């Protein structure tokens, strides 16, 4: 039994050993098999736009290479990395030579155009600048997402924090796809509340006058739609880039109230959950106000201390104000500059005393040397002759340089309107010598325009105009103008020489002819005037004109008043017109500051051969006051009166027609003066007009301004006494200094309309300033 058992066990042991040997052999053969299998062929399927060589050239696996899973996965990764395909997979087939591989690819959408939908606040061009994805390329999903995020951030910078941007691929046809960025702008987030934590010395309103960050007020929405200036329309918009500047602006306000130790931190900004409102909190530590204990001068030898203190605006004992120090530095620089010390330097120092809360102000002056002008160099004037420029300069060679005179020279050259830019730069060439470099950039001074339009006075009108403001580079002005309208036809020739033989005397010749339909009557007028002017001082001019006019009044209507019927037929006016004016405006075409005051007296006399006998006088005063943010206020008052002499009536051409864009906006021409019961115009014997304009810049590059106005005036009949019971009107106006002349368009509202009067009037005019 034992022997049988032993043989049985030996049998099963041999079976086990043989089985293990077979398994080992099978495993070894299986492990050795891949090294023996080769890639027999490689094919690519599914490509449409990309050619086969361009794809095959990227593959590193070639026929005859060993076939392994790692090799195949490597080729798939290579194809994905090209960025052309959104799907790649492999199909295999065993052949006698090895394994045949087929890479099946699906190309990404090919974007032929990129469009934006839903964007109203930001233009397509601006959004195109933000995105990185391009058309005529395969879609890169990551770039599409990044571009959508860049668009969203662009909107966020503009205040739209709730903006959503979704990129979607739309199929145009089999080969063309469109990538559309759908924009849901949402509402612009606005500043709901601005808090100054710890501030007691100033009000919010004081801060908002100087800050860029201000609270939203509902009427700003209308201001934004009207596209009024940024200082109005941007109120309530958060500008993070301005916050550091706002911190300094807050400090400046408090420093001007004496708080020398004021500290203002960066604001905390919170956005509401609905992403529509901001809350902004500025931390402020005011400290205590300081007063001025002393104002002293150091380094002065040219001026005695009493001379420096003569116009000093800082007073001992008053609250410290930093702005006054800046004003004093400017005043002292101008004072020294007026004596030839053009490079004088004034350095202020403030020394606070914390114990008694006072501050001493010391103004240290480095006077330098008195400078004389060695020579004046004029550059950039290719057309304009040197003498035309030099006669406007208020300094001369070998003169002591005079800073106020340099500023005035700049104003006068700018007012010629011959140059785009004017620079007057002193260059030190010796210890006490400078060269004055006058650099100008000329602009076209000739204008030719031909066209038509609609004028509120002339109705349909065709205009041809040729004007040259700088004839031959001599500064002469020549003009030929023709106008043909439904109610007025005009021809005008003008020549002006502002400096006869480079003297202070000017000469102007005007020849004109016009025909005007005043509805109630028809007027024909032709004539000429010769005007001589003279500079009487730097800002004062006088003029004397000899005039001769041939007049004819005809075709009265059935309801024409007696004052018109008495003057029908031919008349002549001969006499003179005189004017005395003072003009300190900084820039005539678009003033920021200064006065213009004029008085005039006209006389028509038969002693020179005419039939009309009258006198007429007028006063015209205008004041421009600069305001913050490139705004200004203009106030103008005019009074005029005419009187017939020796029993003669006031000629119709000399009466005042109050109403219209040049007198009382909001009224039809002449309707703010006397009219007959049948509503016919007769003109006024006297006028009194007040014009109040708030002017703001819409575009400085385009020379476009907006005006909010209030007019208060009236024309008075012959026997009507002058009073302040005048007609009111208000409205909006646009002013454009266009290439073909100044253009004005106004809409005025009659604030107290009478029966038969229009409540609102739109008017425009070309070629004159108000």
Residue 123 confidence (pLDDT): 86
Residue 619 confidence (pLDDT): 98
Domain count, the chain: 7
Contact 760, 692 (CB under 8 A): no
Q: Are residues 571 and 709 in the same domain?
A: yes
Q: Are residues 71 and 100 in the same domain?
A: yes
Average pLDDT over residues 126-141: 81
Q: Is 18 exposed, middle or buried (0-12, 13-18, 19+ CB in 10 A)?
A: exposed
Q: Average pLDDT over the chain, rounded to whole?
A: 86
Write down which residue in 118, 151, 184 finishes a domain: 184
Residue 29 has pLDDT above 70, yes or no: no
Give 34's pLDDT tier (boundaries 50, 70, 90): very low
Residue 76 confidence (pLDDT): 86
SS3 string, 291-345, reads EEEEEEEECCCCCCHHHHHCCCCCCCCCECCHHHHHHHHHHHHHHHHCCCCCCCE
Q: Are residues 266 and 329 in the same domain?
A: no
Q: Greater confidence, 345 or 21?
A: 345
Average pLDDT over residues 598-619: 95
761 CB neighbour count, 10 Å cutoff = 24
User: Residue 272: which CATH number?
Assistant: 3.10.20.310
Residue 6 has pLDDT above 70, yes or no: no
Establish if 126 belongs to a structural domain.
yes
What's the rounded Cα separation, in Å, for the pair 520 and 5?
150
pLDDT in tens, 247-293: 999 999 999 999 999 999 999 999 888 888 999 999 999 999 999 99
Q: Are residues 423 and 534 in the same domain?
A: no
Establish if 49 belongs to a structural domain.
yes
Q: Are residues 558 and 698 in the same domain?
A: yes
Give 423's pLDDT tier (boundaries 50, 70, 90): very high
Give the containing element (helix H, strand E) for 491.
Answer: strand 488-497
Ranked by mean pLDDT, which of 150-159, 440-449, 540-549, 647-656 comes out on top? 540-549
Give 769's pLDDT tier (boundaries 50, 70, 90): very low
Residue 701 confidence (pLDDT): 81
Q: Are residues 245 and 344 in the same domain?
A: no
Residue 33 has pLDDT above 70, yes or no: no
Q: Are residues 101 and 140 in the same domain?
A: no
Q: Are residues 608 and 719 in the same domain?
A: yes
Look up residue 387 and give its two tokens: 């003498």
* Percent of the chain predicted with pLDDT > 90: 51
Average pLDDT over residues 383-408: 92
Establish if 614 belongs to a structural domain.
yes
Establish if 141 belongs to a structural domain.
yes
Give 566's pLDDT tier (boundaries 50, 70, 90): confident
Give the containing element (helix H, strand E) for 477.
Answer: strand 476-485
Q: Are residues 578 and 725 in the same domain?
A: yes
* Chain centre distance of CA 439: 25
Q: Greater confidence, 534 or 131?
A: 534
Contact 744, 764 (CB under 8 A): yes
Write down which residue in 91, 107, 123 finishes a domain: 107
Length of the chain in terms of residues written: 770
Q: Are residues 680 and 549 in the same domain?
A: yes
Establish if 488 belongs to a structural domain.
no
Establish if 388 belongs to a structural domain.
yes
Q: Greater confidence, 194 or 241?
A: 194
Q: Are residues 336 and 398 in the same domain?
A: no
* Percent of the chain predicted with pLDDT > 70: 90
Q: Are residues 175 and 274 in the same domain?
A: no
pLDDT in tens, 145-203: 888 999 998 888 888 888 889 988 887 776 678 888 999 988 888 899 999 999 999 99
Establish if 752 belongs to a structural domain.
no
pLDDT in tens, 659-668: 988 999 999 8
Task: With H, G, I as helix, E, B as strand and everything else as coil, classify residue 381.
Answer: coil
Write the DSSP symbol of residue 587.
-
Give 234's pLDDT tier (boundaries 50, 70, 90): low
Average pLDDT over residues 497-513: 95
Establish if 416 belongs to a structural domain.
yes
Residue 226 confidence (pLDDT): 43
What's the rounded Cα separation, in Å, for the pair 45 and 682?
94
Write down which residue in 250, 285, 320 finishes a domain: 285
Give the range of the structural domain holding residue 313, as residue numbers without chain letter: 291-366
Question: Do the strands 631-644 and 433-442 form a parallel or antiparallel pair, or are they unpaired?
Answer: unpaired
């Amino acid at each position: 039994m034992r022997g049988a058992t032993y043989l049985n066990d030996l049998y099963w042991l041999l079976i086990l050993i043989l089985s293990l040997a077979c398994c080992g052999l099978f495993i070894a053969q299986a492990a050795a098999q891949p090294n023996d299998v080769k890639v027999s062929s490689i094919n690519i399927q599914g490509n449409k736009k990309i050619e086969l060589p361009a794809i095959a050239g990227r593959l590193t696996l070639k026929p005859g290479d060993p076939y392994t899973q790692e090799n195949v996965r490597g080729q798939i990764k290579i194809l994905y990395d090209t960025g052309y395909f959104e799907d790649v997979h492999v199909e295999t087939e065993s052949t006698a030579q090895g394994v045949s591989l087929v890479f099946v690819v699906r190309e990404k959408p090919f974007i032929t155009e990129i469009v934006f939908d839903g964007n109203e606040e930001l233009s397509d061009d601006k959004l195109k600048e933000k995105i990185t994805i391009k058309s005529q390329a395969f879609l890169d999903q990551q770039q599409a997402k990044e571009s959508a995020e860049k668009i969203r951030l662009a909107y966020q910078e503009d205040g739209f924090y709730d903006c959503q941007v979704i990129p979607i691929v739309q199929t145009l046809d089999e080969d063309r796809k469109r990538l559309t960025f759908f924009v849901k702008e949402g509402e612009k987030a606005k500043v709901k509340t601005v808090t100054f934590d710890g501030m007691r010395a100033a009000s919010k309103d004081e801060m908002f006058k100087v800050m860029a960050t201000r609270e939203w007020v509902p009427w700003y929405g209308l201001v934004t739609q009207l596209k009024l200036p940024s200082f109005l329309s941007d109120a309530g918009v958060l500008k993070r880039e301005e916050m550091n500047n706002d911190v300094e602006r807050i400090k400046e306000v408090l420093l001007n109230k004496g708080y020398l130790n004021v500290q203002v931190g960066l604001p905390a900004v919170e956005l509401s959950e609905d992403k529509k409102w901001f809350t902004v909190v500025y931390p402020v530590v005011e400290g205590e106000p300081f007063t001025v204990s002393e104002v002293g001068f150091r380094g002065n030898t040219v001026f005695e201390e009493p001379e420096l203190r003569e116009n000093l605006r800082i007073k001992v004992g008053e609250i410290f104000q930093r702005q006054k120090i800046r004003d004093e530095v400017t005043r002292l620089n101008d004072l020294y500059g007026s004596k030839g010390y053009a490079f004088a330097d004034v350095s202020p120092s403030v020394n606070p005393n914390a114990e008694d809360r006072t501050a001493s102000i010391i103004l240290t002056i480095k006077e330098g040397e008195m400078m004389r002008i060695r020579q004046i160099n004029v550059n950039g004037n290719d057309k304009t002759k040197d003498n035309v420029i030099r006669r406007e300069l208020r300094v001369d060679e070998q003169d002591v340089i005079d800073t106020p005179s340099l500023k005035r020279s700049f104003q006068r050259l700018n007012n010629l309107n011959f140059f785009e830019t004017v620079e007057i730069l002193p260059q030190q060439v010796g210890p006490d010598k400078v060269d004055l470099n006058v650099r100008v950039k000329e602009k076209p001074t000739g204008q030719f325009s031909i066209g038509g339009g609609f004028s509120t006075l002339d109705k349909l009108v065709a205009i041809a105009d040729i004007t040259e403001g700088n004839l031959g580079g001599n500064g002469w002005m020549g003009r030929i103008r023709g106008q043909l309208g439904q109610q007025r036809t005009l021809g005008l020739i003008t020549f002006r020489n502002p400096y006869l033989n480079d003297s202070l005397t000017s000469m102007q010749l005007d020849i004109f002819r016009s025909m005007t339909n005043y509805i109630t009557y028809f007027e024909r007028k032709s004539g000429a005037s010769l005007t001589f002017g003279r500079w009487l001082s730097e800002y004062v001019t006088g003029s004397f004109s000899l005039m001769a006019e041939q007049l004819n009044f005809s075709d009265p209507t059935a309801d024409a008043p007696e004052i018109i019927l008495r003057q029908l037929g031919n008349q002549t006016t001969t006499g003179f017109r005189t004017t005395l004016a003072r003009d300190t405006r900084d820039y005539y075409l678009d003033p920021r500051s200064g006065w213009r005051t004029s008085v005039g007296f006209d006389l028509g006399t038969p002693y020179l051969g005419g039939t009309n006998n009258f006198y007429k006088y007028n006063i015209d005063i205008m004041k421009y006051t600069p305001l913050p943010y490139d705004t200004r206020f203009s106030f103008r008052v005019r009074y005029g009166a005419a009187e017939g002499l020796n029993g003669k009536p006031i000629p119709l051409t000399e009466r005042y027609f109050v109403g219209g864009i040049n007198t009382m906006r909001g009224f039809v021409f002449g309707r703010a003066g006397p009219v007959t019961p049948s509503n016919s115009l007769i003109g006024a014997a006297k006028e009194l007009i007040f014009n109040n304009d708030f002017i703001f810049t819409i575009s400085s590059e385009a020379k476009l301004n907006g005006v909010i106005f209030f007019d208060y005036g009236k024309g008075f009949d012959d026997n009507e006494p002058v009073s302040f019971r005048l007609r009111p009107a208000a409205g909006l106006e646009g002013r454009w200094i266009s290439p073909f002349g100044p253009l004005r368009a106004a809409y005025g509202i009659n604030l107290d309309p009478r029966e038969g009067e229009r409540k609102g009037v739109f008017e425009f005019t070309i070629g004159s300033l108000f």
